[in-house]
Amino acid sequence: MHPDIDRPRLEAAVRELLAGIGEDVSRPGLERTPARVAEAYAEFFAGLGVDATAIVRDGAVPAGPDDLGEIVVVRDIRFRSVCEHHLLPFLGVAHLAYVPGERIIGLGTLSKVVDAIASRPQLQERLGEELVASIADGLGARGVLVVLDAEHGCVRTRGERQSSSSTVTMAATGLLEEPLRRAEVVALIGAPRTAVVDAAPGRPSDLA
């Protein structure tokens, strides 16, 4: 939990919010709501103040000569975040790719990086850019690409209530900004799993 989370202040704010919509904060169904919301917010925003680049750096190991030039692609990392405009959740999957420099990363560490950066008030576009920057800086990667596909609570539950829509964003740097390399990665992300295994068996996937 982020150390600056002020639970009493959060609970007081929730009580005020409930009163503001005309609810009776003391009624039985709402008595514990402020505490529950404070607990949830402590989890939702646990990434505030976390150095995601340090997570990448700490999880990196030297790359072998056979790893250089390989494109490492990790698909379908599930995440949840909270849109900073309406404080409503958005949930989706992250697809990450990078071209190693001198270091590679344990693939399980990448999900920790996604969770750390997503666990803040966010915009989907910024989430992608921050993931790219953390992976590029932490690894010294020669190229990084991130594709996010998410469903937003503010789109699904407000206004026109587009319950079936999702938002896809892409951010890239280095070699993976080049159109041909980017297209290659996007094709790998979208390919059936058997096709990916047949086409690109990944040596880095042996990392824990």
**pTM for the full model?**
0.85
> Do 137 and 38 belong to one domain?
no
Mean pLDDT of the chain: 88
Is residue 2 included in any domain, yes or no? Answer: no
- Amino acid (1-letter code) at residue 6: D
CATH number at residue 65: 3.30.1130.10
- Higher-confidence residue: 206 or 177? 177
> Do 173 and 196 belong to one domain?
yes
- Band (107; pLDDT cuts 50, 70, 90): confident
Total domain count, the chain: 2
Q: How far apart are CA 31 and CA 18, in angstroms?
A: 11
What confidence tens digit (pLDDT) does each residue in 63-94 have?
877 766 688 999 999 999 999 999 999 999 99
Spell out the residues 6+ positions from residue 150 whose beta carbon is closer than 8 angstroms to its own.
79, 81, 90, 91, 92, 93, 124, 166, 167
- Band (202; pLDDT cuts 50, 70, 90): very low
Is residue 1 included in any domain, yes or no? Answer: no
> Do 149 and 119 belong to one domain?
yes
pLDDT of residue 126: 97
Spell out the residues 6+ positions from residue 114 whose beta carbon is closer than 8 angstroms to its own.
77, 79, 94, 96, 131
Whole-number CA gyration radius for the chain: 20
- Band (196; pLDDT cuts 50, 70, 90): low
Helix-strand-coil percent breakdown of the chain, rounded to 5?
45, 25, 30
Q: Which two tokens stand for residue 125?
A: 């576009």
Q: How many helices (H) and strands (E) does the chain have?
A: 8, 7
> Do 63 and 33 belong to one domain?
no
Q: Note down the domain range covering 33.
A: 7-44
> Do 196 and 96 belong to one domain?
yes
> Do 32 and 63 belong to one domain?
no
Is residue 174 included in any domain, yes or no? Answer: yes
What confidence tens digit (pLDDT) does each residue in 127-166 have?
999 999 999 999 999 999 999 999 987 777 666 766 667 8
Q: How far apart are CA 133 and CA 171, in angstroms?
A: 10
CATH number at residue 32: 1.10.286.10
Q: How far apart are CA 40 and CA 207, in angstroms?
A: 32
Q: Which two tokens stand for residue 141?
A: 């990667």
